[in-house]
Amino acid sequence: RISWRTVRDAIENGLRKRYRRRDYSKVENIGVDELHVFRNERPSRRFITTVRDQDSKAVLDVARGKGAAALKRFERKIAPFKENIKTVSMDMASSYTSWAADFLPNATIVIDRFHVIKALNDRVDKARRKVMAMVDEKTAKQIKGNRYVFLKNRENLTPKEEKKLARAEKIKECSTLMEVHLFKERMRSIYKNAKTYADAAPLFDEWINDASASEVPELRSAARTFKRNRDGILAYWSSGGMNNAATEGFNRKTRGLLETAYGFHDYKFLRLRIFDLGERKSIKD
């Protein structure tokens, strides 16, 4: 009987040979993202940063940590071909945008749609928690357990969920929550209906102005963040809809890989398996 350790070593050796070298010469559009993996490590070691080819979906690099420091190895590898890079898709973390501006000055920074909506959903959830903390027990019961009703895309709500949302709209204490929810859906509508930069820019700027004028702290903070990242967010349209959604889907596959927990007692093996995950034809982003 062959031991799991023997099987694991054979897999690791095979993966190491396969991914020893990567071809960066044809890479034009990359996606950078971070994933929280190691919960018991010190803060700087809890994350891994992945870089993917947005066209082929291949994993170009996997590094421990996050931010510009985690991209040093990738810098060395891509340096001879960095003039080929046209777009860099990422979230709104200043460390990544600064890195891209410094290292890839000719590339267009694209703040992906996923992270814009996620930033708003985070604020929706923050507003919901505030409501839960201030209402009486009877009202709280009407809201409790309905977190995903507020986070879910409006058009995807079931009839039962629509009724729950309608009940929340009638609760006086939920007015702030519903305002944040409305602005979230309004931003989603921009992404859904605007086809060009010329369509999106005035709608986005109007959203910023209206959110800035709101008395809701969550909306004002979102407006400041989005205004600071205006060029990158609107580049979604000028770059032809380039975004990091595929990378986010890939991260879900990575988490699924981690949940199996087979043989991932060391980071090196995990890193190789992540490279391999990007090559699997059965994985659909």
**Cβ atoms of 241 and 54 closer than 8 Å:** no
Residues 183, 247 within the same domain? no
Residues 230, 260 within the same domain? no
Residues 121, 234 within the same domain? yes
Distance (Å, whole) CA 174 – CA 167:
10
Distance (Å, whole) CA 19 – CA 275:
7
Distance (Å, whole) CA 81 – CA 79:
5
Residues 218, 252 within the same domain? no
pLDDT tens profile 214-266: 999 999 999 999 999 999 999 999 887 766 566 667 877 887 777 665 545 67
Q: Please name the residue ranges forming H helices in 58-174.
A: 72-78, 94-103, 113-134, 137-143, 147-151, 159-169
Task: State the Cα torsion 162-166-168-174 to the nearest 10°.
Answer: 120
Residues 131, 212 within the same domain? yes
- Flag whether 178 is in a domain: yes
Residues 33, 83 within the same domain? yes
pLDDT tens profile 132-179: 888 888 787 777 778 888 888 888 888 988 888 888 888 888 899 999
pLDDT-derived band of residue 285, with 50, 70 and 90 as boundaries?
very low
Structure letter (DSSP) for residue 58: -
**Cβ atoms of 128 and 150 closer than 8 Å:** yes
User: What is the total count of domains within the chain?
Assistant: 2
**Cβ atoms of 62 and 50 closer than 8 Å:** yes
Say what the pLDDT of residue 283 is: 37
Residues 28, 89 within the same domain? yes
Residues 83, 142 within the same domain? no
Residues 19, 105 within the same domain? yes
- Flag whether 283 is in a domain: no
Distance (Å, whole) CA 233 – CA 118:
13
Say what the pLDDT of residue 246 is: 67
- Flag whether 209 is in a domain: yes
Mean pLDDT over each residue of the chain, to the nearest integer: 86
Ramachandran class of 65: left when φ > 0, alpha when ψ lies in -120 to 50, beta otherwise: left
| Domain of 190, in residue numbers | 113-238
- Flag whether 73 is in a domain: yes
Q: Cα 63 to chain center, whole Å?
A: 17
pLDDT for residue 183 is more than 50: yes
CATH number at residue 256: 3.30.420.10
- To which residue do tokens 């991260």 refer? 251
Could you tell me the pTM of the whole model? 0.82
